[in-house]
Structure 1
Amino acid sequence: MLSAGPWPQGEGEMAARIRSLGWADTPLGPIETWPQSLRTTVDLILAMPGPATILWGPKHVQIYNDAYIAIAKERHPALLGRPVVEGWPDVYKSVIAPILESASAGRATRLTGFPVPLAGLDSRLEERVFDTDWSPIRDESGAVAGALQTLVEVSDRLEVQAALRESEARHRLLIESWTQAVWETDADGVVVADSPSWRAYTGQTLDEWLGYGWLDAIHPDDRAYAERQWREAVAARALVNAEFRLRAPDGEWRWTNVRAAPVLDAEGRVEKWAGMNIDIDDRKRTEAALRENEERYRTLFESMDEGYLLSEVILDENDKAIDIRFLEANPAAVRLAGRDFTGQRMREIDPRYEEYWYEAYGRVALTGEPIRAEHYAEPHGRWFDFRLSKVGPPESKRVASVHQDVTERKSAEQALRESEKRYRSLFATMDEGYALCELVRDDQGRAVDYRYLEVNRAFETLTGLASSQVNGRLRSEAIPVPDERRLEASARVIASGEPTRLEYFNEGLGRWYEVGLFPREGDQFAALFADITERKRAEIALRESEERLRDVLNSMAEGFALLGPDFTILDVNTETVRLDGRRRDELVGRSHWDAFPGTEHSPVGALFKRVVRERVPEALEHQYAWPNGRALWLDLRVYPTPGGIAIFWRDITDRKRADEALRASEQRYRALFESMDEAYAVVEVLKGQDGTWADFRFLEVNPAFIEHTSMPYPVGKTATELLGTPNPRWAQLYGQALDTGKPLRVEEREPTLGRTFDLNIFSLDRQQNRVAVLFTNITERREWEERLQVLVAELQHRTRNLLGVVRSIADRTLAGSSSLDEFQERFRDRIGALSRVNGLLSRLEESTRISFDELLQAELAGHGVMDGDGHGQVTLEGPTGIRLRSATVQTFALGLHELATNAVKHGALSLPEGRLLVRWGLVDGKDGDRRLQVEWQESGVPVPPPARGQHYRRGSGRELIERSLPYQLGAETSYELTPEGVRCTIILPLSTTHREAEHA
């Protein structure tokens, strides 16, 4: 959807340029045809506060935001809408093209402190340094269509850091010259070591200094403050910078500035505290005098010649200053302006006042920050030195101005600057120290000393001697250490009239100097010298560093070689000699291409040439075969150096072989993983807010897992997300395997899936809470085992019942027979009926259907209650021909058998006065299907209630009806033992329709 109104929206410069640019002539085409993904990314970068740019399409057309203008500099606005290769030709091949290739592959790139040589306005290259991030941009189809770059130029920051390091070096030299005491404490801020400089500065003894005794040397009014500052700094591990008064050895109090900082060990713990004291007594006394001077200045200010104005700044709705109303002016202000304009507005007074004045007054009124500046006022034709400051509370818009006419001074200053510029070029600003000296001779005309006549500021900085300490004094008085070499050289310069230069070490100052001596008139000579102590130390350090570097390189387990720009081998280390097999002198001085044949036109040679050309480090794994036939895999890392390249390399042949073996192992593992029949998963176990194992996320599953669990896309999802409910039991099992680190095997049922699994759990990564789980679906096996247990129990029970029924039939037949022959005939008939009902229980073929009334009558006949013995006791009510499903007959018949057996043995059919009513029919089920409902009601046999506090015993027949029929047949059952007898209802699903059940 395109947004209403011009797009992109916003008031920034780049938003306006994007709207106004004629895109139809660019590779992107008219702006109305841009894809939504590009439009969204453009809106994104225009809202970014930092520099950002888009490179879109096959030609990488560039679009950027307002902050990027500072990066583009003089290339703006020509960059907009152009392919990046045209806008940045100087860095495209070396920098941008490789990154765009990475982005096209869907990878992000980060570069920090990355130097890039760019052409400036004068076409000269200047190195600019950036921190930058590159990210791929995808279009609506998901394909990479461009790249997004966000960056920050850090060139100025690096220059500031370099300047800071140089400043810190100068600062250390300065500290040594103006610190009065240095000291250390332990990590808790307690003094445990002596500080001779402190004791000399304060007059304390060692015992008075140690511990917290140093507080006694502090002025009583400052003691609590100093102790609080120190204890708070130690607690916070913060720097200390405090000022207070210390007692001097002569009993006087002197102001000192104490500075201290924690010294940290390699682990970041405070090892000790280092501190120093700087005597600031002179500064403090100066500040006090300055305050007195300021009071005198205030009196003078009231009668000063400077102009004073009190004004009110008028702002518009955007807080922009649009006018200034003058409220008050002193006489000097009226005189300088030529008239009194209090109560008037600046735009009324003269419209020629520049916007500069309104901006300056508005900035002070809004920010409260004062301004001191000099500016030319066009209406007056004069220069004014003015100071603006806010007056009143923060909401006030009043500004006070103190100003004076400095037109004459500006003219004089211009002339003075020209003069001072020439002077500074000769004397004041030069880095070298300068001293004008005069030889001092004895009565025989021999040079015995020399006197300083004049020195410059660089001399004071280099030597630490103020001009007041040396001007007019002999060299032996200023620095009382013999300097015969310089004295002799000065005498030779004056005698020969030829300048000379020498280096010498001044023992009195402990510094190295390079001195140039130049003859002047008479016995005068000029000494121009520079402090070369750091250079000397650097030379010594360099020699030591080179020796240490040589030791490090020779002790490295990696090969090292240094190549010149023409690829001549300049140096190699011991490991290179060992790996190569040749002596060092056989390699150094030779061309790399000659020493290692075949490498010039190989990937190695291309890599070396590219690093020399592009000055960018690169790495390569390469197999090289030596002329002697030995072949090794090498890990090469190549870095540009000022004079060529440095190469580090190591033998990775064993690692390559291991990698190949690992890949083969991974392939075997993957083949097993994909083809195994058992379900396998790698999961991450998750903890809840209370720290217990609460859930788990699937990280990897095999095809068998998806097949067994019916979860099509489980990877990356938690159990709660997949199942819709937490599974804390399994999460705790996985957590148990992690906690113990031992394999765990358990059998668990997942209620949501309705399946039972045998779990083998193994701890994989205890750091990342990962376990491997082997699932075996044993649901069907467990169901068959449970069904088998039920059937075996029922078989045993039925066998016992069958024997009981036979015994009951025999007893009843014998009781109703008048002779043995009659008993034999009637008993044989009843045994035959019992056999027929058991035969019905064996009809399991699906093609054989038994009706309910047939099954019921066979069961009752088998118990001998459908003939003369039971006539009148049993009443049957229900339709005939309701067919039962063959698969349900046996279990259902067992239930009827249990009811009939119990009725014959204990219930309504056990006594002549007992009665049995069996009523059946078809009813509608919950799902709209037709079901068979059977009601079994016994009466006439009183059932004694159970003993107090007990219940009727649940027999195996009742267990069969209440548990097996619902479990195996999906039946609904109720079984109640009342004082009148048994009440049982069974509602059984049928596989046939109502019509079939009634008419089949």
Structure 2
Amino acid sequence: MDRSGSPPVQPVRGEMAGRIRAYDWTSTTLGAAETWPPSLKATISLLLGCGFPMIALWGPNLIQVYNDGYRDLMGLKHPAGLGQPTRACWPEVWHINAPIYERVWAGETLTFEDALYPLTRSGRLEDAWFTLTYSPLRDDSGAIAGILVILVETTSRVLADRALRESEARFRAELERQVQERTAELQASRDLLKATMDSSMDMIQVFKAVRDASGEIVDFQWLLNNHTSESRYGEVSGQSLLERNPGVVQEGIFDTFKRVIETGQPATAERRYVHEQFDGWFFQCAVKLGDGVATTTKEISAWKAAQEEVLRLRDEIAQAALRESEDRFRTLASLIPVLLWRSDESGQQNALNEAWLAYTGQTLPQSQDGGWLEAIHPDDRDASQEAFRVGREQQRLIEVQPRIRRHDGEYRWFLVRQAPIVDAEGHVTQWIGAAMDIHELHDLQERQAVLVAELQHRTRNLLGVVRSIAHQTMVQTGPTERFREQFNDRLAALSRVQGLLSRSEQEPITLRTLIRTELEALGAGDFADRIHVAGPPVRLRKASVQTLALAMHELATNARKYGALTTEHGRLSVTWRADRNEQGDGNLLIEWIEEGISRPRETYGPTRRGYGRELIERAMPYALNAKTRYELGETRLLCAIELPLGERSGEMSTA
């Protein structure tokens, strides 16, 4: 947090990073940014660095903080939406979001695909579709303090799918017209089926799961029947499903109900049911409702009888329909900025959109008969091919994350999915696939793993240094007030080093910066006219900073308490020079000279011959391969430190 009140977010580029830093957060329930918990700061840094649209809703009022991607979805609601309670910003969808937020506050993580939201982001109410994930955000104590929403707008795809369905509906109407022209008998049957469906009502039933002592579902109990269902069953509220309809076990309906409750995924199926009082074909949809299921059942016996004749007629126009379907797929696929393809039932490609051809540089013939594998990175090719083979054999969704070569030779990470399309008999007729570029997200995850590993390594090293400092100080001072004072001073020096290391990726650490930091921490500004610091630019390696900083701290502390800075005529000179040979190696010589010391150092106690001198004369040669010289006279102190210089030394280099 700087003095202007900007929030302490990482220096991420983008409009929203600047807006968040400049925003007056004291006008919200979040309060001044310097009081924010680390968990909130970390969340803001995460969403600002992410390319996907993300928004954090923090606190009981769900105050909005969002990134550039989410800003692009807000329309005219930006920039007023920043720092605004989400209910005030999006009142038109509060009836949708409020129940979701309550579940997330209770600890759930919810994902919705192609969810409809009527929004007024452009000044008028319009429908928009999104794929969203709502996740709880926890504060530093582990309690839920907010909600993280990650979303991708799918309006274009949903509208394209709707257009495809409408087009297919026109195809079905044309098919019905041809059926009507070809046979009067089929027309009569079709009219009868339509009249039956129009005049009938579906059976709607709600069941509650019955569980044993171990929690296993062993039965279902009727909770609700509509009038159509009661006309077939009579009054069955509170009765056992297995007692009234034991055939549900044989037909797999009982296991389907259990699976719906356990997975939360709806299930639909056509079944021939010849048990109890039933004998016919039924289409049933089951969805989870609490700890039970809600079902809708429609009798389709008449429709199944007509279906055979419809399929016969469909085969006669299959070739014409296939050509029309191909043209329709290519037209729609060319409008979507995602790599898309369609394959026949055997998995051989027969249609790709322009995005695939433009990205990979392949021609349509080159991509056929498995040629698309040439665009997959060699290291990912076998795994991708195996995943597609197994998915086709098991007729299930295929998902892999390979690297795909761009036309210029660069490989980028993609999320690839391919799903089967099945007919009424459950046979796969074709496959639809899509690939989304996730290269930036993949790189972000890898960088995060590296940073965590480096943090763990630094923490272990830092604990070792603190333990050594405490031990050496206690040996010299014992458990006295002097121990507390010296230990706190050395921990403060160590803290300053960690501050420099934390910024080293953006601001390299130089020898001058290290020396100035230690001198200024001891109030050297009051003696600026008596201190001389000079030398060429030298950039320090991270491995050498900690030990060298502690040495500079010990020298500066002794100069301030016992040495040249305790007398009016005392002078301190800190200089360094770099001697490099033709091979790029050499030495860095640092000379710390104090002149005008009033009395011999030995009369001032053990500090000059204690931890600081031990660190310089023993620890530095061991840790940094240094050569040191420490000469203390009655009026002058010379401390010379010679360190390896150059890339091969692994320690430091001239800038």
Give me the TM-score of the superposition, normalised by structure 2: 0.30
Relative contact order higher in (CA < 8 Å, ≥ 6 apart) = 2
Higher helix share: 2
- For the pair shown, the structure with the greater C-alpha radius of gyration is 1
